[in-house]
Every structure is written in C-alpha cells, then in structure tokens.
C-alpha cells in the first residue's frame, strides 16, 4: 500500500484524491498484473515519489481553508515498497519512506527532512487454500513511528508519532496476455493515541482503486485513493 505523504502543516484531508503515478522497479509484467499473492521466493520493489505545493489546508469538516499568515507548504515524499513470497499463499510486504517538508509563513520558514514512518504487512490468499483461483487476498499490517516527532511550534514532524494497525481485503484482475490490470482494496485502520501530543486521530475506513499498464520494468497507472 502506498502511504499518503505527510503535509507540512495540519492539512489532513477527510476525502480521497486522484493522482497519476509513474512506477519503476524490479517488477515483472506478470506479477504486476494480478492481485494474487507472490509465490515463494518471488518478489518485487517499487519506488514512488509524491510532490505537493499548496497554500491551502483541510479543516476538521473537510473544507479547504487558506493557511494562516499567508502560509505555504511544500512536501516531497518518496516510498520504497517491496514484497516477497514466504510460503504458498503467504507473502510479506515492507515500506520505507523519506520526507522533505517545508512550511513558510509570515513568521518564519521551517524545513525538515529525514526518514518517515515505516510499514510492515503480511498478506494471505485464503481462497487458494481451498483450490480457488479467485484473486482475493487479506492483508494485515502495522505502521511503526520511525519518523521524528515533537510538539514544538518551530518543528515539522516527519512522522505521526504513534502506531497504526490495519486490515484490508484486496481484489484484482489481469488482462493477460495484454499488459493491463485493475486492482484495489478496502480496509480499516485502528490508530493509537499519540502520547506526546495527547491527540487521538481516530480510526479510518480507507480504499484504493487503480488501473494500469506495464511495459517491461516500467509502468503507468491511474489511481483513486480515499479515506474517511
């Protein structure tokens, strides 16, 4: 799962967003086109880069508001994600991130860069254990608070400062031998309280849908990502 980049100020969106993404990695066309679990010993790696330059934020109701004091947030985040098959019907995923977050306003300019939070998952294809080839998978994972976090006015956190737990159901379809595919998931995320800021972000229902095409080790995809 591609995790959304942190914004340099409190601009968490309560709805989804749409983005186009170029993905490059050690990834064969056959494995990218389907949602089924990786075979033992098989795997892939992808690198995704996101960039956002905005003068607006989302308030608690989901409405867009201008930052105070003519603020401007510039965020660049990269996510290195990999998966490897462990056993028949079972694979493991990991995601590492690097953030560069900048926020300028009429008071001061702030800049922070470094590793963000990390994520780990296990994914299983339970229907395959009963002889079914329907591409349904169940994935569960945890987000680890690796990124620097502090509650001070002149510091931009690189992580959320607390753990998340999530469970999702995934489906997909390959148009093999054509290079196109569609896939997606629906999940629920349990978010622990941040003991430093004493904030409880609340749990989340989230979804992800994508359609793409592979060309050797390169691919293009269009995706819709949302949460509430």
Instruction: Select the highest-mean-pLDDT range: 34-43, 78-87, 147-156.
Output: 78-87
| DSSP conformation letters of 27-78 | --HHHHT--SPPPBT-EEEEEEEEEEEESEEE-TTS-EEEPGGG-EEEEEEE
What percentage of the chain exceeds 90 in pLDDT?
A: 44
Give 169-180 pLDDT, tens digit per residue: 999 998 888 889
Q: Tell me: pLDDT of 33 over 60.
A: no
Q: What is the pLDDT of residues 174-218, one digit of tens each?
A: 888 888 999 999 999 999 988 777 777 789 999 999 999 988 878
Whether the predicted pLDDT of 13 surpasses 60: no
């Amino acid at each position: 799962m591609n995790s959304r980049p942190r914004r340099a100020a409190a601009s968490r969106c309560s709805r989804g967003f749409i983005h186009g993404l170029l993905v490059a990695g050690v990834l064969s066309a056959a494995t990218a086109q389907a949602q089924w679990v990786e075979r033992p010993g098989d795997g892939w790696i992808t690198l995704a880069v996101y960039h956002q330059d905005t003068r607006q934020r989302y308030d608690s109701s989901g409405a867009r508001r201008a930052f105070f004091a003519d603020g401007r947030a510039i965020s660049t985040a990269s996510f290195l994600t990999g998966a490897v098959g462990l056993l028949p019907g079972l694979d493991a995923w990991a995601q590492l991130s690097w953030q560069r977050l900048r926020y300028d306003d009429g008071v001061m300019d702030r800049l922070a860069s470094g590793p963000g939070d990390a994520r780990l998952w296990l994914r299983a294809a339970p229907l395959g254990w009963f002889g079914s080839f329907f591409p349904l998978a169940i994935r569960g994972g945890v987000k680890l608070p690796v990124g620097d976090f502090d509650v001070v006015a002149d510091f931009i956190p690189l992580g959320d400062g607390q753990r998340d737990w999530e469970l999702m159901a995934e489906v997909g379809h390959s148009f093999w031998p054509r290079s196109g595919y569609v896939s997606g998931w629906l999940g629920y995320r349990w978010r622990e309280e941040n003991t430093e800021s004493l904030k409880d972000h609340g749990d989340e229902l989230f979804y992800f849908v994508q359609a793409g095409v592979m060309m050797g080790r390169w691919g293009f995809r269009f995706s819709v990502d949302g949460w509430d």
